[in-house]
Amino acid sequence: MRPSPEGACDAALVERARGGSAPAFSALVQRHQQAVRAFARRICGDLVEADDMAQEAFVTAWSSLARYQGQASFRAWVCGVVYRKALTARRGALRDLGRDGAYAESRGWAVGQPIEPAAKTALRRAMAELPADQRAAVALCLAGDFSHAEAADALNLPLGTVKSHVNRGRSKLLELMGGRDG
């Protein structure tokens, strides 16, 4: 008798999903959706767009399972897909919006979003001020529970670069939010 998908480790679930098991892939989605969505929200800003991006990332992961060799953790791999999608979307949006640099303000603060406490809004604004790779490193290592190595796998960056992004990102966030770096 096969173990239930909920109890299996990621590698076993990936193997079963690769063989066509829908429950195994659903278990992977269920297990990692929180981390992947949180990451998408933090690098993208807009909740609806972030969820859409996270869903697409899981679909891309499903169709690319044959290429996944297990060198990075599954969630790091999917977060890497989200990151690449976010960069592509950002480049496309920048092209569409032209030169005026209004991109960051036009996203993330869309009309119709619930009013948030000032501190949360300030954090989102501060995150939006960080460069894309720094923001992604902060989103994974500080906001998420990724190790530096896992984040390096996800972002396809050297470990030292990720560490430096996290340190600089944290300092900058605290500075922008009026806190102190300690």
Select 72 or 150, whichever has its Cβ closest to another protein: 150
Kindly state whether residue 174 participates in binding another protein, applying the rule CB under 8 A. yes
Among 12, 87, 104, 142, binds another protein (CB under 8 A): 142
Question: Considering only CA atoms, which of 37, 34, 27, 26 is closest in space to residue 7?
Answer: 27
Kindly state whether residue 177 participates in binding another protein, applying the rule CB under 8 A. yes
Select 76 or 143, whichever has its Cβ closest to another protein: 143
Query: Quick one: 70 exposed, middle or buried, by C-beta within 10 A (0-12, 13-18, 19+)?
Result: exposed
Q: One symbol per residue from 1 to 40: x for binding another protein (CB under 8 A), - otherwise; what is it?
A: ---------------------x--xx--xx--xx--xx--
Nearest distance, CB of residue 136 and another protein, angstroms: 14
Select 58 or 83, whichever has its Cβ closest to another protein: 58
Choices 5-13, 89-97, 100-108, 172-180; region in contact with another protein by CB under 8 A? 172-180
Nearest distance, CB of residue 159 and another protein, angstroms: 11
The vertex-131 CA angle with 54 and 133, nearest 5°, equals 55
Select 22 or 102, whichever has its Cβ closest to another protein: 22
Give contact residues for another protein (rule: CB under 8 A): 22, 25-26, 29-30, 33-34, 37-38, 41-42, 51, 54-56, 58-59, 62-63, 119-120, 123, 141-143, 147-148, 163, 166-167, 170, 173-174, 177, 179, 181-182
